[in-house]
């Protein structure tokens, strides 16, 4: 078993309320020379369910602060520009059949710091328990977080309800008035998350697409226009910007953190982040691509 997988499995077991498992895993002693400088997130903590916040061993092994690995001395960059959007909500969904993970991270456009994060594992609505078990073992078993997923996953409708309470608490949206986010925008690595997967999941759950999912920023488009080079995905962006990958690729919360680090770097380099896609009000399932050449032209004028 690899070191990273061992740490992930400890994360799933050390935060459980099962006293027997808790007792047995506390006997595992890992030499300091084997401990990574970067700590994996406690995936119970990210969902507000960690019961070991007073246990030194647990706190020593697992990160309970999403902003720690993201803090870089880039907020003082002379290239940093004023944005029309105050907060960027980085979103990276996981799950091809149904959504399995819903992580969001808020970045302050002025300070570039992580304000807060929201993370929920999502239990499929239409799949049988046997199919769910196979699905989760295939998706998360290899990185050792299948147990924490099973312990914490909740239906998509409940996730959306909790998410709306969260963004309302940050004054980014008001349920009573509906509509889009207030001075904030989603950032995704591609159009798939909001253009395709959110409508599909809403249809499966028999619910309307929430109004705040009507527009977003496709980071791939912004990246192409700003750096004048193509990036097929997050890994390419990280490589080209020489930012090391942290965590497990395709674990949604880790991918969201890594995408957030790309956003931080681009903001520090002087990018102007703007909405790149907007869903048609007449047909919320459709999506209108904005004129990216126009965005590039506007950026060129503002830079000169």
Catalytic site residue from 94, 215, 287, 299? 94
User: Do 170 and 31 belong together in one domain?
Assistant: no
Query: What does the pLDDT read at residue 207?
Result: 97
13's CB contacts (< 8 A; 6+ apart) are 21, 22, 25, 147
Let me know whether 31 and 73 are in one domain.
Answer: no
What's 255's domain CATH number? 3.30.420.10
Q: Which of 22, 170, 249, 250 is catalytic?
A: 250
Look up 250 and say whether it is catalytic: yes
Residue 85 falls inside a structural domain: yes
In tens digits, the chain (304 residues) has pLDDT values of 443 333 334 434 334 344 333 332 333 333 344 344 678 889 999 999 999 999 999 999 998 887 755 545 566 678 889 999 999 999 999 999 999 999 999 999 999 999 999 999 999 999 999 999 999 999 999 899 999 999 999 999 999 999 999 999 999 999 888 889 999 999 999 999 999 999 999 999 999 999 999 999 999 999 999 999 999 999 999 999 999 998 888 899 999 999 999 999 999 999 999 999 998 876 655 555 554 444 444 444 344 3
- What are 277's strand-pairing partners? 216, 289
Q: What's the structural domain count of the chain?
A: 2
Radius of gyration of the chain (CA): 20
CA distance 167 to 144: 30
Q: Which pair of tokens denotes residue 84?
A: 């029309």
Q: What is the pLDDT of residue 2?
A: 40
234 and 182 fall within a common domain: yes
Range of the domain at 239: 67-126+152-303
Residues 208 and 256 in one domain: yes
Compute the C-alpha angle 58/59/62, nearest 5°: 80
170 among known catalytic residues: no
Residue 41 has a pLDDT of 87
Given CA atoms 14, 160, 93, 87 in this order, what sign does their dihedral have? Answer: negative
Q: Are residues 115 and 184 in the same domain?
A: yes
Q: Give the position of tokens 């509906």.
A: 178
What residues contact residue 157 under an 8 Å CB cut-off, 6+ apart? 205, 207
SS3 at position 187? strand
244 part of a folded domain: yes
């Amino acid at each position: 078993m690899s070191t990273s997988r061992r740490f992930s499995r400890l994360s799933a077991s050390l935060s459980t309320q099962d006293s027997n498992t808790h007792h047995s895993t506390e006997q595992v002693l890992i030499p300091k020379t084997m401990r990574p400088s970067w700590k994996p997130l406690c995936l119970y903590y990210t969902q507000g369910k960690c019961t070991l916040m007073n246990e030194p061993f647990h706190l020593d092994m697992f990160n309970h602060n999403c902003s720690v690995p993201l803090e870089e001395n880039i907020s003082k960059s002379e290239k940093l520009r004023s944005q029309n959007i105050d907060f960027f909500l980085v979103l990276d969904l996981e799950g091809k059949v149904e959504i399995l993970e819903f992580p969001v991270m808020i970045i302050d456009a002025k300070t570039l710091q992580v304000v807060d994060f929201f993370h929920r594992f999502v239990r499929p609505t239409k799949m049988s328990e046997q199919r769910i078990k196979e699905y989760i073992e295939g998706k998360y078993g290899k990185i050792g977080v299948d147990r924490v997923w099973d312990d914490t996953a909740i239906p998509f409708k409940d996730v959306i309800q909790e998410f709306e309470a969260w963004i309302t608490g940050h004054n980014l949206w008001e349920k009573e008035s509906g509509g889009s986010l207030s001075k904030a925008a989603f950032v995704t690595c591609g159009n798939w998350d909001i253009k395709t997967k959110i409508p599909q999941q809403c249809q499966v759950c028999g619910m309307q697409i929430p109004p705040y999912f009507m527009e977003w920023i496709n980071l791939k488009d912004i990246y192409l226009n700003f750096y004048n080079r193509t990036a097929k995905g997050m890994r390419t962006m990280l490589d080209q910007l020489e930012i090391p990958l942290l965590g497990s690729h395709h674990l949604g919360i880790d991918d969201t953190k890594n995408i957030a680090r790309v956003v931080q770097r681009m903001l520090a380099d002087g990018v102007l982040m703007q909405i790149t896609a907007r869903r048609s009000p007449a047909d919320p399932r459709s999506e209108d691509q904005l004129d990216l050449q126009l965005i590039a032209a506007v950026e060129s004028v503002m830079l000169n």
